[in-house]
């Protein structure tokens, strides 16, 4: 453990973000007063940040920004709301209310599936926020802790009905989510008008100042890494015996965000710390989170995530501290392996003899227009279906627990609404973050250009006879990397309008960080570079060699082995 980090960081000088949390009276701030202010559609002062802990972000439509500015109008403020949905599972019947809220109470009328197994509404006006929370409450949901410095939506391998182990892993995801959830009563008071309780608030795990930064958790059943675990702070890989989870390998310190040209930031794939038996799962989860709570950097938010804490304490130091808090020791990591991380599209029969249908949702955006009826299609399925919807970490959806009798009926609805169609492997494995027009941090387009890129790459791949192959292709609109571009075989990260950094060399299972190949290139330049690379790959690859592996073998870029040193060199 390095000397200067021997003392906990908790008492050290705080940033503005730290002050806001500490002074917030357990996340209340003056949100109630702001809700009464009808002059603006926005939130003021600390509340702008505090509403995030309740699962909302204040945004404005960036396509309209300059026009409104010219007219001397305030930006068109509206909120994005992100639901909490551990493991991504929701009863289909509940979807009907979600669908109807999006149509009637949001500016865009869409629902956006995120790459953390939940959904977002974009464009809720301040006056409609309480209705949104009340609607969620009626169907047993909430948006608490889906944003800001807490443990976020807990991910879980997407097909829990495929085996008993998947089912059990989902129960663990829910338990971990509940354990780490903020315990403040502020959410219920403010959004659900529940009476103030006189007992004082207490945050036994998160503390009064909550965590130094966002924290992300997964529960994974090998051999499918469909949750992209290596991007997360804390990961539980299920180890099984006789169709039962006996324990978990724990991996810590994953994260992908960087700041362009800031070498003190780097992406890092989560690292093995040890194995724990199932009965110790929650004890270790709590110990890891409180270690990060007390040792994480509360001065510089760019270096505040778990990977930086681990780098500062050393993995062994971090491990000792976790063991001290858990009053138990990690055991040696058990053997496991991953074979893929994409979703398995189409029909699959579950252990219960019911069927699951995985549907591809481009960018996770659920909408209707003249050509597409994805929203109506899902709503129609929801009205007939008695099972669940399962949202995947690849922004797709599984209609699960369909009886043999209803199989054809549901398939016909899906086909007639464009929810089932033939697409390339490249498209199936692609992803983009939201970016414009709602994301305030966007530097370049992502969601709105993904289809264009895929279309062009499909032409190129077919020209060189590799159109049946898959390449993990991802775009993020800025260096925060929400589209997980820094775990892609080809990843784009936005620099400015129509300009991106181009990274290559990630792998299929998602534990290798790609390396920069070209900096600050335009869309047209990217396509020229990618055509060259794909042509060389098609002509010179070994049998079944993946694109990401090929560019490393040919030394087109150097492998990023230790990202702290290799990512920027």
- Among residues 22, 83, 26, 24, the alpha carbon closest in space to that of 197 is found at 26
In the 8-state DSSP scheme, what is residue 258?
A: -
The footprint of ligand SRM on residues 278-307 (CB under 6 A) is 305
Q: Does 390 bind ligand SRM (CB under 6 A)?
A: no
Strands in 515-522's sheet, in edge-to-edge order, are: 431-432, 473-476, 490-496, 499-504, 515-522
- The maximal CA–CA distance of the chain, rounded, in angstroms, is 72
Q: Which residue is nearest to ligand SF4 (CB)?
A: 477
Residue 156 is assigned to a ligand binding site: no
Known catalytic residue: 482? Answer: yes
Known catalytic residue: 104? Answer: no
Integer-rounded Cα Rg, in Å, for the chain is 23
Interface residues with ligand SF4 (CB under 6 A) are: 433-435, 439, 441-442, 446, 476-478, 480-482
Residue 478 is assigned to a ligand binding site: yes
Pairing of strands 56-60, 355-359: unpaired
Known catalytic residue: 156? Answer: no
The two tokens of residue 125 are 């006006």
Tell the burial category of 324 from Cβ atoms under 10 Å away from its Cβ (0-12, 13-18, 19+).
exposed
Known catalytic residue: 82? Answer: yes
Least distance CB 98 / ligand SRM (angstroms): 15
User: Residue with structure tokens 């009340």?
Assistant: 134
Residue 83 is assigned to a ligand binding site: no
User: Residue with structure tokens 């493991």?
Assistant: 87
- Among residues 186, 292, 273, the alpha carbon closest in space to that of 235 is found at 273
Query: Is residue 251 within 8 Å of residue 270, measured between CB atoms?
Result: yes
Pure H helices in 139-213? 164-180, 186-192
Toward ligand SF4, which CB reaches closer, 52 or 417? 52
Q: Does 440 bind ligand SRM (CB under 6 A)?
A: yes
**What x-and-dash track marks residues 152-191 binding ligand SRM by CB under 6 A?**
xx--------------------------------------
Tell the burial category of 496 from Cβ atoms under 10 Å away from its Cβ (0-12, 13-18, 19+).
exposed
Alpha-carbon gap, residue 87 to 223, rounded angstroms: 17
Instruction: Choose from ligand SRM, ligand SF4, none: what does 478 bind? Cβ within 5-8 Å by kind.
Output: ligand SF4
Known catalytic residue: 301? Answer: no
Q: Which of 110, 114, 249, 501 binds ligand SRM (CB under 6 A)?
A: 114
Only one of the segments 146-154, 404-412, 460-468, 549-557 lies at the binding site for ligand SRM (rule: CB under 6 A); that segment is: 146-154
Instruction: Choose from ligand SRM, ligand SF4, none: what does 152 bind? Cβ within 5-8 Å by kind.
Output: ligand SRM
Least distance CB 481 / ligand SRM (angstroms): 5
Residue 433 is assigned to a ligand binding site: yes
The two tokens of residue 334 are 């058990």
Least distance CB 465 / ligand SRM (angstroms): 32
Q: Does 256 bind ligand SRM (CB under 6 A)?
A: yes
Q: Which residues bind ligand SRM (CB under 6 A)?
A: 57, 59, 80, 82, 114-116, 118, 120, 146, 152-153, 214, 216, 228, 231, 255-257, 305, 395, 433-434, 438-441, 480-482, 484
Binding residues for [4Fe-4S] cluster: 433, 439, 478, 482
- What positions carry a catalytic annotation? 82, 152, 214, 216, 433, 439, 478, 482
């Amino acid at each position: 453990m390095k000397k200067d980090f021997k003392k906990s960081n908790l008492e050290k000088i705080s940033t503005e973000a730290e002050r806001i949390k500490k002074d917030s009276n357990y996340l209340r701030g003056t949100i109630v007063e702001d809700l009464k202010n009808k002059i603006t559609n926005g939130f003021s002062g600390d509340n702008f940040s505090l509403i995030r802990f309740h699962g909302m972000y204040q945004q404005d439509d960036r396509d309209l920004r300059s026009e409104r500015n010219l007219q001397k109008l305030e930006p068109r403020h509206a909120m994005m709301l992100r639901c909490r949905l551990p493991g991504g599972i929701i009863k289909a019947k509940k979807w009907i209310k979600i669908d109807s809220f999006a149509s009637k109470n949001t500016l865009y009328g869409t629902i956006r599936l995120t790459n953390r197994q939940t959904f977002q509404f974009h464009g809720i006006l301040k006056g409609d926020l309480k209705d949104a929370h009340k609607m969620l409450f009626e169907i047993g949901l909430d948006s608490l802790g889906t944003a800001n410095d807490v443990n976020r939506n807990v991910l879980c391998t997407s097909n829990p009905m495929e085996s008993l182990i998947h089912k059990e892993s989902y129960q663990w995801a829910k338990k971990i989510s509940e354990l780490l959830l903020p315990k403040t009563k502020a959410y219920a008071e403010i959004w659900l008008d529940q009476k103030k309780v006189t007992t004082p608030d207490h945050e036994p795990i998160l503390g009064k100042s909550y965590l130094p930064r966002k924290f992300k958790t997964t529960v994974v059943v090998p051999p499918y890494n469909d949750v992209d675990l290596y991007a997360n702070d804390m990961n539980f890989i299920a180890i099984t015996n006789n169709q039962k989870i006996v324990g978990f390998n724990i991996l810590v310190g994953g994260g992908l965000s960087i700041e362009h040209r800031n070498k003190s930031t780097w992406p890092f794939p989560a690292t093995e710390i040890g194995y724990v038996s199932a009965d110790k799962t929650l004890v270790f989860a709590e110990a890891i989170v409180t270690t990060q709570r007390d040792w994480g950097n509360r001065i510089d938010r760019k270096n505040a995530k778990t990977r930086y804490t681990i780098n500062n304490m050393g993995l062994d130091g971090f491990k000792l501290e976790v063991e001290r808090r858990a009053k138990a020791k990690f055991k040696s990591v058990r053997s496991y392996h991953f074979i893929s991380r994409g979703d398995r599209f189409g029909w699959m029969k579950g252990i219960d003899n019911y069927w699951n249908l995985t549907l591809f949702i481009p960018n996770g955006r659920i909408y209707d227009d003249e050509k597409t009826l994805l929203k109506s299609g899902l709503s129609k399925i929801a009205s007939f279906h008695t099972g669940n919807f399962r949202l995947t970490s690849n922004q797709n959806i599984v209609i699960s627990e369909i009886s043999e009798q209803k199989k054809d009926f549901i398939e016909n609805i899906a086909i007639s609404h464009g929810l089932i169609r033939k697409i390339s492997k490249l498209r199936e494995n692609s992803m983009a973050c939201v970016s414009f027009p709602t994301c305030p941090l966007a530097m370049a387009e992502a969601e709105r250009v993904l289809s264009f890129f895929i279309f062009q790459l499909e032409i190129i791949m077919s020209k060189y006879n590799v159109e049946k192959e898959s390449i993990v292709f991802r775009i993020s609109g800025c260096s925060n990397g929400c589209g997980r571009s820094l775990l892609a075989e080809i990843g784009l990260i936005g620099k400015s309008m129509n300009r991106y950094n181009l990274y290559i060399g990630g792998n299929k299972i998602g534990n290798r960080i790609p390396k920069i190949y070209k900096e600050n290139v335009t869309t047209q330049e990217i396509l020229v570079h990618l055509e060259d690379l794909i042509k060389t790959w098609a002509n010179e690859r070994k049998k079944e060699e993946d694109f990401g592996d090929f560019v490393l073998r040919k030394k087109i870029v150097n492998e990023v082995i230790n990202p702290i040193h290799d990512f920027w060199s």
